[in-house]
Amino acid sequence: MNHLTIGVLFGGRSGEHEVSLASARSVLHALDREKYRIVEIGITKDGAWLSGEGALEALTAGRMEGLTPVTLLPDPTRPGLRDLQTGELVAALDVVFPVLHGTFGEDGTLQGLLEMAGVAYVGAGVAGSAVGMDKDLFKAVMRASGVPVVDWVILRRSEIEADIQGVIDRIETALEGDYPFFVKPANLGSSVGISKCRSRSDLYEGLLEAARYDRRILVEKGLNAREIEISVLGNDQPEASIPGEIRPADEFYTYEAKYQDERSELLIPAPIPEALAEEMCRTAVAAYKAIDCAGMARVDFLLDRESGAYYLNEVNTLPGFTEISMYPKLWEASGLPYPRLLDRLIDLALERQQERQKTIYIRE
Ligand SMILES: Nc1ncnc2c1ncn2[C@@H]1O[C@H](COP(=O)(O)OP(=O)(O)O)[C@@H](O)[C@H]1O
Ligand SMILES: [Mg+2]
């Protein structure tokens, strides 16, 4: 049988390095060895690419000695994974599966390299990844597409540095002084750098904190909201799973509530009325198409407890992917078990590459 060679990328330079290792453990465990030859490619926190049998275990244990430094060239005439020292081919890759979250994995930068290299890969392309990652650009596209989002203000770090009191005045005017506000770095994940601000002094602290993590900072009206998530899968005809609900153990879904506090609950299906679930699924698919997503994304909503209105909060184009993560659990509950979900994502990556090959770049 002709095995497809899948390069599984994990680790990486983002704050979600450990989350990525956990996701990759599940992916490597479930990929069907009858169908696929697996090449493990670990990226260290410094950004070094290392490959070899047991690379995941080595990265997890911090013992990298036995691994081979490798690279992927942006040169499609020299394809495949290459030995960094000799330039020799280590493995031809049919599909790359980036099991990476956040910066340098989910934000379009890696996708740019994969496009240059001409290799098929799982998930969204450059634009879908970058817009999905950037909370301000994402919300602007949603608003232009008629998808409801919570009102927000975007600021630059330089404005905060120059005149933080003036910035606070402007935020209070734009958001009608209606505390609490949520302050967020524009490009990050796992709730890092996010604060819920109940007062001017909280806002002051929150702005300084978020400005450590990004040049661009969002401030949003804070809602008293339920958190509903929907998994979307597909390329040009994406489909939505049933919705799930997160019940965070904390005041909001903080880093601790996401990864440390076992009291955070996932409810599948989300206990919401059928008609609302259907409408949110349609909205999730519309949002996915609006940013030209491909492969997969988890689409996260806020459902206002007071008004009953829903708002699209964000999309995650490489969502948490352990067997107990929301993205695969929602598919499992919708009839697609974890190993079949992986097959589907690999098929979609190949389909998208075929689609791309139809495009000509030079006038004939
Ligand atoms: N406008 C808001 N109103 C209420 N809660 C919010 C709001 N924005 C974010 N949150 C809370 O903060 C969490 C993290 O924010 P989110 O925008 O999802 O960032 P991240 O990309 O880090 O997950 C959400 O899951 C939710 O609990
Ligand atoms: Mg989130």
Which residue from 135, 178, 182, 314 has its CB within 8 A of the most atoms of ligand 1, so it is best to mutate? 182
Say what the alpha-carbon torsion angle 324, 327, 333, 339 is, to the nearest 10 degrees: -70
CA distance between the termini of the chain? 39
Q: Quote the mean pLDDT of the chain.
A: 95
As a whole number of angstroms, the distance between CA 84 and CA 177 comes to 55
| Proportion of the chain in helix, strand, coil states, percent, rounded to 5 | 35, 25, 40
Q: Whose CA is nearest to atom 13 of ligand 1?
A: 253
What per-residue confidence (pLDDT) applies to 312?
A: 98
Q: What is the phi/psi pair of residue 265, to 5°?
A: -115, 145
Answer yes or no: is the C-beta of 147 below 6 A from any ligand 1 atom: no
Answer yes or no: is the C-beta of 184 below 6 A from any ligand 1 atom: yes
Distance of CA 141 to the CA centre of its chain: 17
Question: Which pLDDT tens digit goes with each residue over 290-328?
Answer: 999 999 999 999 999 999 999 999 999 999 999 889 999
Select from 175, 194, 178, 176 the least CA-distant residue to 135. Answer: 194
Q: Whose CA is nearest to atom 9 of ligand 1?
A: 182
Question: Which pLDDT tens digit goes with each residue over 143-168?
Answer: 999 999 999 999 999 999 999 999 99
Domains and CATH numbers, the chain: 4-121 (3.40.50.20), 132-148+224-355 (3.30.470.20), 152-221 (3.30.1490.20)
Segment 207-217 shows an average pLDDT of 96
- Give the number of whichever ligand sits closest to the CA of residue 302: 1
Which residue from 191, 203, 327 has its CB within 8 A of the most atoms of ligand 1, so it is best to mutate? 191
Q: Whose CA is nearest to atom 16 of ligand 1?
A: 191
| Largest Cα–Cα separation, the chain | 67
Which residue from 153, 192, 194 has its CB within 8 A of the most atoms of ligand 1, so it is best to mutate? 194
Residue 18 pLDDT class (50, 70, 90 cuts): very high
Question: Which pLDDT tens digit goes with each residue over 74-88?
Answer: 999 999 999 999 999
Question: Which pLDDT tens digit goes with each residue over 171-197?
Answer: 999 999 889 999 999 998 888 899 999
**CA angle 105-253-225, nearest 5°?**
120
Q: Whose CA is nearest to atom 14 of ligand 1?
A: 191
As a whole number of angstroms, the distance between CA 209 and CA 157 comes to 11
Answer yes or no: is the C-beta of 259 below 6 A from any ligand 1 atom: no
Answer yes or no: is the C-beta of 320 below 6 A from any ligand 1 atom: no
Question: Which pLDDT tens digit goes with each residue over 241-287?
Answer: 999 999 988 888 888 888 887 888 999 999 999 999 999 999 999 99
What per-residue confidence (pLDDT) applies to 1?
A: 60
Answer yes or no: is the C-beta of 302 below 6 A from any ligand 1 atom: yes
As a whole number of angstroms, the distance between CA 167 and CA 159 comes to 7
- Give the number of whichever ligand sits closest to the CA of residue 214: 1
Q: Is the pLDDT of residue 239 over 70?
A: yes
Select from 89, 69, 94 the least CA-distant residue to 78. Answer: 89
Q: What is the phi/psi pair of residue 354, to 5°?
A: -60, -45
Q: Is the pLDDT of residue 2 over 80?
A: no
Q: Whose CA is nearest to atom 8 of ligand 1?
A: 182
pTM over 0.85: yes
Do the Cβ atoms of 181 and 197 come closer than 8 Å? Answer: yes
Percent of the chain with pLDDT over 70: 100
